[in-house]
Amino acid sequence: MFRSIKLLSLTALVFCLIISGCTPSAKETPASSQAQDQLVMSVGSEPENGFDPVAGWGRYGSPLFQSTLFKRDSQMKIVNDLATGYEVSDDGLSWTVRLRKDAKFSDGKPVTAPDVKFTFETTSKNGSVIDLSKMKNVDASDDYTVKFTLKEPQSTFLSILTTLGIVPKHAYGKDYSQKPIGSGPYKLVQWDKGQQVIVEANPEYYGAKPYFKKLTLLFLGEDASFASAKAGKLDVAYIPSAFSKQSVAGMRIEDLKSVDNRGVMFPYVKSGQKTKDGYPIGNDVTADIAIRKAINKVIDRQALVKGVLDGYGTPAYSPNDGLPWWNPKTVITDGNVNEAKKILADAGWKESSEGVLAKDELKAQFNLIYPSGDLTRQSLALSVADMVKPIGIKINVAGKSWDEIKTLMYSNAILFGWGSHDPLEMYNIYSSKYRGVDYYNSGYYSNPKVDEWMDKAIKSRTEEAAMENWKMAQWDGTTGTSALGDSPWAWLVNIDHLYLVKDKLDIGKQQIHPHGHGWPITSNIEEWRWKS
């Protein structure tokens, strides 16, 4: 009945484990903790575009196969990786990065400045999801010195240096994403599409040598992953909170904090305009700040964490809670029906015969769209709709495909998810320059003072110098992007990332995790080891 795991369909595997209870022979079972220097994991989805940093691989977590110039440690502080240091000119336009001289790619060739130059130039020319629009040029001053010249100062350029994995100029081609060569801690040795990736420790790696010599990463759905963990076939498995109440022998739950948030984006302007593609813009109800503020005030975020996430999460108040550029003053006291009602009454919203508030001829009702098939977002949307009923607001909840959402997101409230280690994401979500650009500021939010604070942050010479400006953009005591200010969003929750982990497996000290892409749990894979 069984074939090698690389050829075994996931359907057959799940059927065997759950229905018939059969057990593959040791020869046919993927290596697990039976071999002390190997791990079998189900931690992330298969990357659609392969393992090419130029195309975006690793931007939400560890690139695994490639190294970056810098990286963030468990405290989110910048530390060296391929680089030994950097200098920024007084005008903020020139960044000089010095490289270590002992780094090699997995094919044994040295990592040099021309490789860094090639990586950044290729990424820039390809129109990648990595935003290098402010980079003017990049030069290799010598084999181990790289000079970046920017069109204008950009403090967030440092975040790009921590996320863009370096690829080899000599070995980069059209099939690179399928057969990556890099200078990271592991190298890819086998990829069975739709099923698994097998990687081995890179003997050329310059950093701390990984304890585990081989990793098998299975691409399993949530049910199949949980069933495999229960059957003892996995050392690490990502699980949704719905499975957290079921114990698995020999495994513990690792509850890892994240900035993987969910929130309601409100159309900020009144209706009447259309995008260049003809999609309607604006919503007369959500354009009223009283509606947005009242919803932010009445939502009980802790109840959402408890009821929807089974307690595995935290209330959200911004797209960057807990990160160095977060302003803790954005935290509000919520779940208050009376205060929410007062906000609406003071703004002229009155009770109507239908139980929904009205203002002149306008009724306090609108649509809240979530991506169909996403049960967590569906539950959050329905819960929000229930929470606002007592204050006289009616929310019509509907699930739509992403293709449909692209046409509806400018005139309807959308339940979106974000969460990045780059403050530029905050800029993209709130900047007036990004109104109507992709999924970013689809609500057409605009505040000149917020733009001013964020522009100051972007144009700061260093990340440290930018911090206070990012915080002021969220709330400066008068205005800002938070619920205390314009309330263009009602941020709801940050979702904890849950993993079943073998009892004696130490996965080190984890960063606060970003949005759920990119296998973020592996960002510190060199630290993992068996406990004695």
Could you tell me the domains of the chain?
1-46+193-258+497-532 (3.40.190.10), 53-181 (3.40.190.10), 261-495 (3.10.105.10)
**What phi and psi values does residue 78 have, to the nearest 5 degrees?**
-75, 130
Whole-angstrom Cα distance, residue 163 to residue 421? Answer: 9
**What does the pLDDT look like over 57-67, one tens digit per residue?**
988 777 799 99
Least confidently predicted of 10-24, 323-337, 369-383, 424-438: 10-24
Q: Evaluate whether 408 touches 414 at the Cβ level (below 8 Å).
A: yes
Residue 423 banded pLDDT, cuts 50, 70, 90: very high
User: CA distances (Å), 528 to each of 184, 236, 305, 393, in order?
Assistant: 15, 12, 30, 50
Side-chain-side CA neighbours of residue 335 (13 Å) = 10
| Lowest mean per-residue pLDDT among 54-68, 78-92, 364-378, 431-445 | 54-68
Higher pLDDT, 32 or 278: 278
- pLDDT per position as a tens digit, 118-163: 999 999 998 778 889 999 999 999 999 999 999 999 999 999 999 9
Indicate the average pLDDT of the chain: 91
Query: What pLDDT, on a 0 to 100 scale, did the predictor assign at position 518?
Result: 55
pTM: 0.86
Q: What's the half-sphere exposure (Cβ side, CA atoms, 13 Å) at 145? A: 6
What per-residue confidence (pLDDT) applies to 476? 98
What pLDDT is stored for residue 32 in this prediction?
46
- Percentage, residues of the chain above pLDDT 70: 93
d(CA 406, CA 370) in angstroms, rounded, equals 12
Exposure string (b/e) for 439-450, b if CB count within 10 Å is 16 or more? bbbbbbbbbeeb
The Cα 520–Cα 43 span in angstroms is: 9
The torsion region of residue 487 among left (phi > 0), alpha (psi -120 to 50) and beta comes to left
Gap between the Cα atoms of 163 and 78, Å rounded: 12
Choose among 522, 7, 508, 23: nearest CA to 232: 23
pLDDT digits (tens, 9 = 90+) for 445-481: 999 999 999 999 999 988 889 999 999 999 999 999 9
Separation in Å, CA 451 to CA 254, 424, 446: 39, 13, 8
Half-sphere exposure of 99 (CA within 13 A, CB side): 28
Residue 208 has pLDDT above 60, yes or no: yes
pLDDT at 483 over 50: yes
The CA distance from 111 to 113, in Å, is 7
Rounded Cα distance between 332 and 76, Å, is 25
Structure confidence by residue, pLDDT tens digits, 228-273: 999 999 999 999 888 999 999 999 999 999 999 999 999 999 999 9
Which secondary-structure segment (H or E) carries 200?
strand 196-201
User: 327 or 420, which is more confident?
Assistant: 327
